[in-house]
Structure 1
Amino acid sequence: MASLNNKKLENILTEFMQPHRVRDFTVNGMQVQGKDTVTKVITGVTASQALIDAAVAQQADAILVHHGYFWKNESPAITGIKYNRIKTLIKNDINLYAYHLPLDIHPELGNNVELAKLLGITVRRGLEPWDKASVALVGKFEESISTAELTQRIETQLNRAPLVVDAGKPIKSVAWCTGGGQSYIELAIEQGIDAFISGEASEQTIHLAREAGMSFFAAGHHATERYGIKALGEWLAQEKGLDVTFIDIDNPV
């Protein structure tokens, strides 16, 4: 099994993910430094205590996630839950790497692209026409489908029943943004798209969908964002020969 220097691994990931393409509200790349040599990597959606403990149990050298630490406007103090997580990483000499929006928008294996593959959507363009690195996408189904059919497809592929607003019309065009991207529904409405899929729903999202006559699906923040980080880990294993294991820490949200 191959090994890489931890800084070299960060360079490889950053070159591939290109975080400069999008303005983010967290640190992308290495967030906590660990041992110099990385052979065993654990991937997961969020750097929770449960994921860290699983990595410790598997004697991992690094953890690679979508949701890491050090978010804009959060307290910089390393106390409480954040302290316990970081303490466990440092005590066990585990590197932590995180890529947030760069993983959402990646054109080959990002969260949005991977969700499209699962649901049979052909990607056409970004929902934000003025932004080359659009966080939300627009696509289409090969044949129009009903809200009930898309609901069943989401539940089957993501193993989670979505929250649904049914406009009662066939769905051909669709826009989507994984995770907490429900606010993009307003752009989708402006562009006359048939349906919108996101991870979460806000109170106003339901009213907007109903009043616009648009079908809407909230398929789960965690559930819609499993697949980008899993694909990134698989790429790392295939291209660089590292031992990579994806661990899914269940989250109903």
Structure 2
Amino acid sequence: MKRTDLIAYLAEFLQVDKFRDYAPNGLQVEGKDEIHRIVTGVTACQPLIDAAAARQADALLVHHGFFWKNEPAQIVGMKQRRIKALLINDINLLGYHLPLDAHPVVGNNVTLGRQLAIENAMPIEDVAQGLIWRGNLEQPITASEFAMKIKLALGRAPLHLGSPERLIQRVAWCSGGAQDYLDIAVQYGVDAFISGEVSERTFHAATEQSIEYFCAGHHATESFGIQALGEHLAQKFGLEHEFIDVPNPV
């Protein structure tokens, strides 16, 4: 399909104009006009770009792309090497950040909820651009059992701040670096909050407000949405798709 058609479809499908974001959503580096083979991954790091080039991808779709607010504008060092590799191999780089977090079908939050078998999952409307989700477990389980559930679903043990024996049923979550949304989650009476990162202040906020906090990994909590987006495009347009995971312990 034409690059321009893919960009237009994704802009509408992900409703990119709805979001106040920290980086451009859509085409970030221009490559081939025609797209037949796409590679998806979480972050446009050098190993992912090299893997896409080795597979002769026409487009690389990521959640974390380039040109973040307040980053240095100069294209030197690591940034130069990454962009040079894309240009030499004529690969389109497309990045979708908050629109991919929030999407109700292929988003990071809805897919994370599916992985954890959370029922009645839905975003908290009109709060934080719809990025905070909540739902219920089928039945109450202890925090230690929930930590194991997260480990099995995401392939890594979460950092749990709280009491291992506390029962959990009502859950809120936001993928990635959303630890400070914990204070908002408290207002909705949930037993636990899940995000991808943790700060020193998170411990005090969780313990003083009697909520269980699970730091499940920024990369791990944001691996499912970009896969789902790639699969959606492959099915809708007949494109070849491969998700490539570049392991990241953070």
TM-score band (shorter)? over 0.9
Q: Does 1:63 align with 2:74?
A: no
Pick one of 143, 147, 163 that aligns with 2:143: 147
| 8 A Cα contact 1:33 1:96, kept in partner | yes
> Equivalents in 2 of 1:221, 1:131: separation in Å?
21
Displacement of 1:80 in angstroms is 1.0
Q: Deviations over 1:44-66 (max 9, x none)?
A: 00000000000111111110000
SS at match of 2:136: strand
Change (3 A) 1:211 1:23: same
Displacement of 1:130 in angstroms is 3.0
1:68 maps to a residue whose letter is G
Displacement of 1:163 in angstroms is 0.3
| 8 A Cα contact 2:113 2:121, kept in partner | no
SS at match of 1:38: coil
- So what's the TM-score if we normalise by structure 1? 0.95
Partner of 2:156: 160
| 8 A Cα contact 2:110 2:121, kept in partner | no
Q: Does 1:78 align with 2:112?
A: no
SS at match of 1:37: coil
> Equivalents in 2 of 1:29, 1:198: separation in Å?
25
Q: Does 1:181 align with 2:187?
A: no
Pick one of 89, 96, 117 that aligns with 1:92: 89
Displacement of 1:171 in angstroms is 0.7
Pick one of 17, 30, 34 that aligns with 1:33: 30
1:152 maps to a residue whose letter is M
Pick one of 8, 12, 21 that aligns with 1:11: 8
> Equivalents in 1 of 2:166, 2:157: separation in Å?
20
Displacement of 1:124 in angstroms is 4.5
Two-structure CA RMSD over aligned residues (Å) = 1.2
5+ residue gaps, structure 2, are none
> Equivalents in 2 of 1:131, 1:159: separation in Å?
30
Displacement of 1:192 in angstroms is 2.2
Displacement of 1:149 in angstroms is 1.1
The list of structure 1 runs, each at least 4 consecutive aligned residues, that deviate by more than 4 angstroms after superposition, is none
Displacement of 1:133 in angstroms is 3.9
5+ residue gaps, structure 1, are none
Change (3 A) 1:61 1:125: closer
Partner of 2:195: 198
State the aligned residue count.
249
Identity of aligned residues (%): 51
Moved more, 132-141 or 92-101: 132-141
- So what's the TM-score if we normalise by structure 2? 0.96
